[in-house]
Amino acid sequence: MADDRNSICKERVQSSIEEEYLCPLCYNLLLKPVECNNCQRVFCKQCIDKCLKAKPNLCPFCENYQEKRCSPMFYALLCKLKIECINKPNGCDQVLLYELIEEHETNKCLDQMKQCRGCLKNILKRDLDQHEATCDQIEIQCVKCSLIRKQNSKHDQFDCLSNKQVLLEQKIQQNEEQNKTLINKIQMAVKQLEIHNIENQQKIKQLEIANAESQEMIKCLKNELQWNDKFSKSDFIDELKKQISLSLLIEPFHGDIKTNIPLALLPQWHIIYDQLYSHKTTINEFHALLPKCSVNIIVGAISKNSPTVLSLAACGPKDILSLNTLLNQPFKHDNVYWYLTPTKSFGFSPTSVIKQESPDIVSDQGYKRLSWYLDSYGGYRVGNIINLTTSGDWRKVILSEKV
């Protein structure tokens, strides 16, 4: 069997040894022994591993391999064996115990062969340092110029300087290339910045336009606010009141019978006839009023309790004061039915149906009916309030437009 670092042939063992100390696979002395738990055979660790790698779990003898450490007793016997150094042919005469032989052969033995780092020749370890100190294949590095050279080659000060120069020139070239790429990068960046700058200026312009527009809007809003301030709410209401009273002036009753009209809403009208309901009105009184009237007149009643309000009133042409209607046949003007029947009664009604039992006594829409006796008693009704012929609480009034 070949004898290498990983095996110990039995010839190197100093005493005669039993078969059981030999590996059944390599027939050398057991090295790092392990045991098959099934058949109790002991192998070199590396030998059985080689087998198991080819056929896993297959013991070459029992076919059912289960590894365990070999017994301490057995190992202790192995350790008592004395073994010659493998380098005996080179001159080593050391004999060592089983446990120490590996350490000696791989590290300590000066008669082992080592390879020169320069010429790669195998040299005895004891001669290696001296050999490498003079071997012309060994490479060294100059500490001044960093040149790596064979240690025996010529390298004087001039060589060193010229090498330094070469290195410097290379470095300069490298730097120039780096500078070129840097300059390129900077130029690219400058270009991009210029593009950004243009874009930003465009944005600024847009913002300036938007700003101007906003300012214009603010101006408009300010103007609107000032206008609103000038034309405040109260002003607006005053204006509305004027408009309302004006419309009332132009057509105060819209051709209808009205209730509860404040006299303040009739600034262009003045009272030309004002008597208590207990007063006995005559046709002659009406005829005497005619010259005081302009175009239209208002006929109505005012309560003592609210003396500034016409409780019930209607508007018509002044001619109604000279009417002469037959009994229960009123005269229609707009939506008002007027009647003036001598010795009977004067008044108005919202419908054509009236019943002059002297005054009109109809109760349908009675709240819009006014009726005064003529030439006999006082006033009869204000709407649904009746039998007022002796009343001092109600006034009969006739108004005319101021000329």
Nearer to Zn ion, 135 or 297 (CB): 135
To Zn ion, the closest distance from the beta carbon of 172 in angstroms equals: 19
User: In this structure, are strands 370-373 and 345-349 parallel, antiparallel, or unpaired?
Assistant: antiparallel
Nearer to Zn ion, 87 or 371 (CB): 87
To Zn ion, the closest distance from the beta carbon of 135 in angstroms equals: 3
Nearer to Zn ion, 36 or 293 (CB): 36
CA-to-CA separations, 24 to 59, 77, 83, 98, 180, in angstroms, rounded:
12, 18, 20, 19, 72
Select from 333, 340, 342 the least CA-distant residue to 354.
340
To Zn ion, the closest distance from the beta carbon of 78 in angstroms equals: 13
Nearer to Zn ion, 87 or 325 (CB): 87
To Zn ion, the closest distance from the beta carbon of 166 in angstroms equals: 11
To Zn ion, the closest distance from the beta carbon of 30 in angstroms equals: 7
Select from 230, 294, 271 the least CA-distant residue to 396.
271
CA-to-CA separations, 145 to 139, 150, 152, 159, in angstroms, rounded:
15, 15, 17, 9
Nearer to Zn ion, 156 or 229 (CB): 156
Nearer to Zn ion, 136 or 235 (CB): 136
Per DSSP, what are the bridge partners of residue 8? 29
Which residues, other chains included, contact 320 with Cβ-Cβ below 8 Å and sequence gap of 6+? 297, 299, 331, 333, 338, 340
Nearer to Zn ion, 24 or 366 (CB): 24
To Zn ion, the closest distance from the beta carbon of 80 in angstroms equals: 20
Which one-letter amino acid corresponds to residue 39? C
To Zn ion, the closest distance from the beta carbon of 106 in angstroms equals: 10
Return the residue nearest Zn ion (CB atom).
23
To Zn ion, the closest distance from the beta carbon of 13 in angstroms equals: 14
Question: Is the Cβ–Cβ distance between 311 and 391 less than 8 Å?
Answer: no
| Alpha helix (H) residue ranges in 119-156 | 125-134
| Alpha helix (H) residue ranges in 276-386 | 283-289
Nearer to Zn ion, 109 or 293 (CB): 109
Rounded distance, CA 271 to CA 262, Å? Answer: 13
No. of H helices and E strands in the chain? 7, 19
To Zn ion, the closest distance from the beta carbon of 182 in angstroms equals: 31
Which one-letter amino acid corresponds to residue 101? I
To Zn ion, the closest distance from the beta carbon of 111 in angstroms equals: 5
- For tokens 């005081």, the residue is 292
Question: Is the Cβ–Cβ distance between 322 and 285 less than 8 Å?
Answer: no
> E strands along 267-318, which residues?
269-276, 296-303, 309-317
Tokens (6 digits) for 309:
């309000």
Q: Which residues contact Zn ion by CB under 5 A?
A: 23, 25-26, 36, 38-39, 44, 47, 59, 61-62, 85, 87, 92, 94, 109, 111, 116, 118-119, 135, 142, 144-145, 160
Q: Where does residue 102 rank: exposed (0-12), middle (13-18), buried (19+ CB within 10 A)?
A: middle
Nearer to Zn ion, 15 or 107 (CB): 107
Nearer to Zn ion, 79 or 244 (CB): 79
